[in-house]
Structure 1
Amino acid sequence: MDKGKIVDLEDRIPKLKEQRRRKANRRLIFMLFLFFTLIVVVAYVQSPLSHVKKITVVGNGMYSTAELINKTGLSNNTNIWKVKTQDVSAKLTSLPEIKKAIIKIHWPNTIIIQVQEHNRIAYLEKNKVYFPVMENGKIITDRKTNEISGNFPILFDFKEGAALNQMVTGLRNLPNEILNSISEIHYTPNKTDQYHISLFMNDGFEVSATLRTFSEKMVNYPSIISQLDPNKKGVIDLEVGSYFKAYDPQGEDKQVEKDKGNG
């Protein structure tokens, strides 16, 4: 046997004992660390330190911060570990003016609520008061006002449903220049067209149209009025083609051509 490979057992035993002792110490330290960590976590969860201390809301304009927080059901007594972000988001998006809500938890005790609201696209007149109409076709009945701020079309005789949805879609598709030129839109269905509407423009003209082709034909409005005498007001019929009839009985009817660039 090679003498270089012979190791004295007495020399090995102390080394093995030292290795085992170090391993046992490391295991003990880890267990103590885990034990105290669990104690700290349990104490934190059970103490007021884990309660929500601050709620920040960003992106809101139509709802106040207090209204949105109240809707979430969150408060300073809420344990932050029990906050379910999807549930909070669902509560907020159930509001007709809220399009999207993102909930973020910033440890140890802060909640950030970021909301995206539906755009207000018109107002509905009813009994001389006005209700906001949102881009999703919802009428906000709890936010009536006697005065309108901003340049929005006023809708008459509409209610939530297919006709209003088409009206809102048509308004969303219009360029701002044309949208801002509309003063009133009356829902005036008849025997031949249940989607007939009558528009009254800020420049004094009236437009007869159907919701089915409203937006695609209204884009030609600037071109159409450029061919008319601004001193002779009347009705621009956009239901079939483009036709102008003056209010003045002595005024002449006029066939109006579309701008060739718009088809």
Structure 2
Amino acid sequence: MRKENVVSIEERIPKLKQHRKKKANRRLIFLLALFLLMILSVIYFQSPLSHVKNIEVKGNELVPVETIISESKIKQGMNVWSVNKKETAERLNKLPEIKNAQVKMSFPNSFVIEVDELGKKAYLLKDNKFQIILENGKVLNKGTDSIPVDAPLLRGFKEDKALKKMISELGELPKEVQHLISEINLTPKKTDQYHLTLFMNDGYEVSATIRTFSEKMEHYPSIVSQLDPSQKGVIDLEVGSYFRSYESEEAESDAEPESDAAEEGEGDVGDESEG
């Protein structure tokens, strides 16, 4: 029993040699792989593959591509690994038009800049320029000479709390109602410093106030649907919902003081629709 359990040195030596050989082979393969990796890294960093080739910008409308690339500080030819994506995004977020920016690397040597801009809510007539007003109420120091058609034009406003309140109210309106508005004029009265006169794209005029603007204007489409489209006039939304046709106003101005013509053509929306 004892002799059977004894393993001779001669029998163990081949196994030890084989084990050491395998271990040496593994170490050699590891060193060769590491050396090859280092060689490839040197080749990569010295080759054009490690230099920025393309810079793509997505999501921009208000800010030109050239401005975004310039502010990002990413330049063609610079090493791709020298670009700090987080710091680049933070620089772009400082632009007044940008809400959020993301910078992504597109392997092997391109970058994609995705921006989410603040919405354009209106234009302000200032210094004979139509300047863009963003959804946060900020007025951009750039504008256009041509009359804008993609957002309402604001007249009579200054860069104060009334403007910010107006933009806030405008932002609460459904898109389809916003697109119906051509101009919003601030026309203060003794009883209401926030009184508004609106001119709509469908030919109607609206009398309203900033205080209840979004609440009242939300019902504009249903109000107009009750009116005769051939008879234009003023829709008064200050207190209730009243309609005065331009024809009745002309008749009122031509009538005698004792005449009852002033009562014609006036009434709430329901009465007008029945006529």
Structure 2 length normalisation: TM-score? 0.78
Supply the distance in 2 between the matched residues of 1:159 and 1:245 (Cα, whole angstroms). Answer: 30
Supply the distance in 2 between the matched residues of 1:237 and 1:110 (Cα, whole angstroms). Answer: 57
Q: How does 1:71-220 map to 2 (within 5 A)?
A: 71-142=71-142, 144-190=143-189, 192-220=191-219
Which has the larger displacement, 54-63 or 156-165? 156-165
Shift of 1:235: 3.9
SS in 1 for 2:240: coil
Supply the distance in 1 between the matched residues of 2:165 and 2:72 (Cα, whole angstroms). Answer: 32
Contact kept, 8 Å, 1:224 with 1:256, in 2: the verdict is no
Shift of 1:225: 4.2
What letter is aligned with 2:216?
Answer: K
Which has the larger displacement, 226-235 or 110-119? 226-235
Supply the distance in 1 between the matched residues of 2:231 and 2:127 (Cα, whole angstroms). Answer: 32
Q: How does 1:4-83 map to 2 (within 5 A)?
A: 4-42=4-42, 44-45=44-45, 49-83=49-83
Identify if the C-alpha distance between structure 1 residues 177 and 14 changes in structure 2 by more than 3 Å, giving closer, same or farther. closer
Identify if the C-alpha distance between structure 1 residues 5 and 218 changes in structure 2 by more than 3 Å, giving closer, same or farther. same
SS in 2 for 1:4: coil
Tell me what 1:248 maps to: 250
Supply the distance in 2 between the matched residues of 1:205 and 1:149 (Cα, whole angstroms). Answer: 19
Tell me what 1:237 maps to: 236
Contact kept, 8 Å, 1:205 with 1:236, in 2: the verdict is yes
SS in 2 for 1:5: coil
Supply the distance in 2 between the matched residues of 1:44 and 1:229 (Cα, whole angstroms). Answer: 74
Which has the larger displacement, 43-52 or 95-104? 43-52
What letter is aligned with 1:248?
Answer: E
Alignment deviations for residues 135-160 of structure 1 (CA, whole Å, 9 cap, x no partner)? 33232222x11113534211113344
Identify if the C-alpha distance between structure 1 residues 83 and 34 changes in structure 2 by more than 3 Å, giving closer, same or farther. same
Contact kept, 8 Å, 2:123 with 2:148, in 1: the verdict is no
Identity of aligned residues (%): 50
Supply the distance in 2 between the matched residues of 1:148 and 1:256 (Cα, whole angstroms). Answer: 34
Contact kept, 8 Å, 1:234 with 1:245, in 2: the verdict is yes
Identify if the C-alpha distance between structure 1 residues 161 and 24 changes in structure 2 by more than 3 Å, giving closer, same or farther. farther
Which has the larger displacement, 83-92 or 189-198? 189-198
SS in 1 for 2:31: helix
Structure 1 length normalisation: TM-score? 0.81
Supply the distance in 2 between the matched residues of 1:258 and 1:10 (Cα, whole angstroms). Answer: 113
Supply the distance in 1 between the matched residues of 2:43 and 2:161 (Cα, whole angstroms). Answer: 56
Supply the distance in 2 between the matched residues of 1:258 and 1:17 (Cα, whole angstroms). Answer: 104
Supply the distance in 1 between the matched residues of 2:150 and 2:79 (Cα, whole angstroms). Answer: 45
Which has the larger displacement, 106-115 or 29-38? 29-38
Contact kept, 8 Å, 1:153 with 1:180, in 2: the verdict is yes
More helix by share: 2
Supply the distance in 2 between the matched residues of 1:95 and 1:73 (Cα, whole angstroms). Answer: 14
CA RMSD of aligned residues (A): 3.0
Which has the larger displacement, 166-175 or 41-50? 41-50
Identify if the C-alpha distance between structure 1 residues 22 and 229 changes in structure 2 by more than 3 Å, giving closer, same or farther. closer
Supply the distance in 1 between the matched residues of 2:89 and 2:101 (Cα, whole angstroms). Answer: 5
Shift of 1:74: 0.7
Contact kept, 8 Å, 2:227 with 2:269, in 1: the verdict is no
Contact kept, 8 Å, 1:50 with 1:79, in 2: the verdict is yes
Supply the distance in 2 between the matched residues of 1:134 and 1:148 (Cα, whole angstroms). Answer: 17
What letter is aligned with 2:57?
Answer: V
